[in-house]
Amino acid sequence: MLRACSPQSLFVLHSKCKMIIQYSEGKSKENFYERKKVMQRAYKMMEKGEVVCPICGGKMRLHGAYERRPKDNEGIRHEGWVAQGYCVACDKYHSLIPSFIKPYKQYETEVIEAVLTAWENGEIKRSDCPANESTITRWKAEFAERGARAVGCLTSILYNVYLQHINMIELKKEGLMKQLDRLTERLIGSLGGLVMGRTNIILTRNNSGYL
């Protein structure tokens, strides 16, 4: 069951790839660049039980932090930190990834979402993104597949968890990004932030992969 949390403190689980995604923008995003603050925040949440092992649900302890260097919309890399927890029971390490970073991607979620939104709206210009053509093509292909799958998963979660329906005929008239926007708002309310970030929060919490 999804629980109400502030945008700055929401951590969710993804057991399949053993990752934990945090909804974090604004002040929390600023803290991403300071290793000490990242680790302090992760430690407090682990101690409170707000972050648990995605495999067994047991308590984790703080292991450390590793560096991530995502690129912004100008192609400039920014050095930040991702905390890592350890579950004694499972003997597994779990990354605590902020939602403004996509797993295994070089660019920030904001950059990727902007490209995909413009593409769906027929507004994309090559000069709007610093990524090369092959990278953008890969983003589009992945989103076409994962986005459609995510819509199905969110629709299922909406019904199975909240016993709510949504008009799929009307929903399908919109692009994938708008569909995800509507569904995530129904599920967790108007928290703001990136559509892809909100989607990943819900998907990972329900063990349904990520965009």
Q: How far is CA 139 from the centre of its chain?
A: 15
Please tell me the distance from the alpha carbon of residue 98 to that of residue 23, in angstroms, as a whole number.
Answer: 6
The answer to whether 96 and 44 have CB atoms below 8 angstroms apart is no
34-43 mean pLDDT: 92
158-184 mean pLDDT: 87
pLDDT at 191 over 80: no
Provide the pLDDT for residue 111: 94
Provide the pLDDT for residue 5: 40
Tell me if residue 195 falls in helix, strand or coil: helix
Please tell me the distance from the alpha carbon of residue 127 to that of residue 119, in angstroms, as a whole number.
Answer: 13
176-185 mean pLDDT: 93
Sign of CA dihedral 210, 91, 64, 61: positive
Angle (nearest 5°) at CA 102 between 100 and 107: 80
10-36 mean pLDDT: 67
How many CA atoms are closer than 13 Å to the CA of 185, on its beta-carbon side?
12
**Is 154 or 28 the better-scoring residue by pLDDT?**
154
In what helix (H) or strand (E) does residue 86 lie, and over which residues does it extend? strand 80-87
